[in-house]
Amino acid sequence: MESKSKSYFCTDSSTISIMKKNTSIFYVLILIFSSCSTGKKALEKGDYFSAITKSVERLKSDTDNKKAIKVLEDGYPLALEWSQEEIDFALSSNSAFKWEGAINQMEQVNRISDLIRSTPAARKKITNPKSYTSELSMAYEKAAEARYNEGLNELEKNTRESARTAFDYFYRANQFVPGYNDVADKMSEAKEMATLKVVVEAAVLNTQRYSLSSQFFYDQVFKYLNNNYSKNGFVQFFSPDQAKKFQINQPDFIVQMEFYDFTVGNLSRSVKEENLVKKVPVERKDSTRTKDIIYTAKLKTYTDEVLSAGRLNFRVIDFHTNDLLRNNLIPGSFTWVNRYAIFAGDKEALSQPQLQLTQNQAMPLPPEQDLFIEFTKPIYDQLVNQIDQFFRRYR
């Protein structure tokens, strides 16, 4: 017995390998065993609907399973009794949305009914499973009415927060009964009142030194806002032209952006001179001794760097109070680098990277507009994060 025990619990590499290979089989067996449940344990715990579901699923593959049949026959009446008690309890409460609790129970009974009717072995035992039809339709009407009335109450408070709540109530009413009363109009009214309207002004670029445009940056910011703040949300962004077009004379917030304290295209050049010596051993034909061949060269390496940098002032202003709610400076920079080299002497003295540098040439400086766009890229990433941090609470 002892030798068998040692062999079974052995953890050498071969056994571990076998265990890894059989991991998938282990999980398959777990699934098989779990699917073999008849629902008996769930029934004993009073989880009636879970017990019925498991028993019916078992009967789909094992039509004569006595345990599953027993669970179905014993559990189904208990499930109906428990569900009716829950419905009565919900409707006797003072909750404004009490009909929704009744709906949940009715829908659960109907799901079980559908499952039984679609399983021949279960249908033989429960020949006439209960379904709520007219009762459920009435419950939908009552639930829609309750949500609609609560939406009206919230709308009358005439605040953005209450309008947001009203929209959710009207939306729920429309789910219960599509097109209930004038719910579509009320949803639009609540949405309009609840939506935060933000005017994003053009990115100001005050400079006489450079001939630059910030339109590209502004377009990228607006593209981000359009893609990440959908029209179905509760924050809408407008350009000044759009605000004028839609007659938004009283926006909630103003977003301002201004580039300042920036430089574009500041060139610095550094030169590095090196004397290179490389010894290459060569074996003589008439001797075992070797002779060194010495290669020499003078290498001059140039590094041109163009630094562009600046800051963006990001501000959020409450239009109604003129309060400055956000005032942050966002830095950004970009360095354009070009390295090239010339040499005099033996080519063989150069390493491969050094030789590659001699293939490069001095290049003209990039256009100032291109450099400006490059240094605004890290600013853009920080800006959209700060916009999200501020406006995510209003979504």
Nearest in space to 182 (alpha carbons), one of 166, 167, 192, 170:
170
Amino acid at 326: R
When pLDDT is averaged across residues 277-294 and rounded to a whole number, the result is 77
| Cβ contacts of 35 within 8 Å, gap of 6 or more | 57, 58, 61
Q: What is the pLDDT of residues 340-374, one digit of tens each?
A: 999 999 999 999 999 999 999 999 988 989 999 99
Q: What is the pLDDT of residues 137-152, one digit of tens each?
A: 999 999 999 999 999 9
Number of domains observed in the structure of the chain? 3
Predicted pLDDT at 18 = 44
Q: Is 100 inside any structural domain? A: yes
Which of residues 89, 107, 132 is at a domain's end? 132
- 213 and 283: one domain? yes
Q: What is the pLDDT of residues 213-233, one digit of tens each?
A: 889 999 999 999 989 988 888
- 88 and 235: one domain? no
- 51 and 116: one domain? yes
Q: Is 211 inside any structural domain? A: yes
When pLDDT is averaged across residues 165-188 and rounded to a whole number, the result is 96
- 147 and 218: one domain? no
Beta bridge partners of 344: 298
How many Cβ atoms are within 10 Å of 186's Cβ, its own excluded?
22
Beta bridge partners of 280: 293
pLDDT band at 206 (very low <50, low <70, confident <90, very high): confident
- 103 and 235: one domain? no
Answer whether residue 313 shows pLDDT above 50: yes
Comparing 11-20, 186-195, 294-303, the range with the smallest average pLDDT is 11-20
- 325 and 376: one domain? yes
Comparing 19-33, 190-204, 246-260, 325-339, the range with the smallest average pLDDT is 19-33
Predicted pLDDT at 261 = 80
- 205 and 344: one domain? yes
Q: What is the pLDDT of residues 6-61, one digit of tens each?
A: 333 334 444 445 444 454 544 444 444 444 577 889 888 989 999 999 999 999 99
When pLDDT is averaged across residues 271-282 and rounded to a whole number, the result is 91
Q: Is 173 inside any structural domain? A: yes
Range of the domain at 37: 13-132
Q: Is 5 inside any structural domain? A: no
Q: Is 299 inside any structural domain? A: yes
Answer whether residue 162 shows pLDDT above 50: yes
Mean pLDDT of the chain: 88
Beta bridge partners of 203: 257
Predicted pLDDT at 383 = 96
- 30 and 47: one domain? yes
The length of the chain, given as a count of residues: 395
- 128 and 190: one domain? no
Nearest in space to 130 (alpha carbons), one of 94, 83, 167, 176:
83
Q: Is 18 inside any structural domain? A: yes
Predicted pLDDT at 6 = 37
- 112 and 164: one domain? no
Q: Is 387 inside any structural domain? A: yes
> HEC states along the chain?
CHHHHHHHCCCCHHHHHHHHHCHHHHHHHHHHHHHCCCCHHHHHCCCHHHHHHHHHHHHHHCCCCHHHHHHHHHHHHHHHHHHHHHHHHHHCCCCCCHHHHHHHHHHHHHHHHHHHHCCHHHHHHCCCCCCCCHHHHHHHHHHHHHHHHHHHHHHHCCCHHHHHHHHHHHHHHHHHCCCCCCHHHHHHHHHHHHCEEEEEEEEEECCCCCCCCCHHHHHHHHHHHHHHCCCCCCEEEECHHHHHHCCCCCCCEEEEEEEEEEEEEEEEEEEEEEEEEEEEEEECCCCCCEEEEEEEEEEEEEEEEEEEEEEEEEEEEECCCCCEEEEEEEEEEEEEEEEEEEEEECHHHCCHHHHHHHHCCCCCCCCHHHHHHHHHHHHHHHHHHHHHHHHHHHC
Predicted pLDDT at 31 = 41
Q: Report in angstroms the alpha-carbon separations of 282 from 120, 288, 296, 345.
A: 92, 10, 16, 20
Question: Residues of the chain with pLDDT > 70: what percent?
Answer: 89
- 73 and 27: one domain? yes
- 153 and 245: one domain? no
Question: Residues of the chain with pLDDT > 90: what percent?
Answer: 73
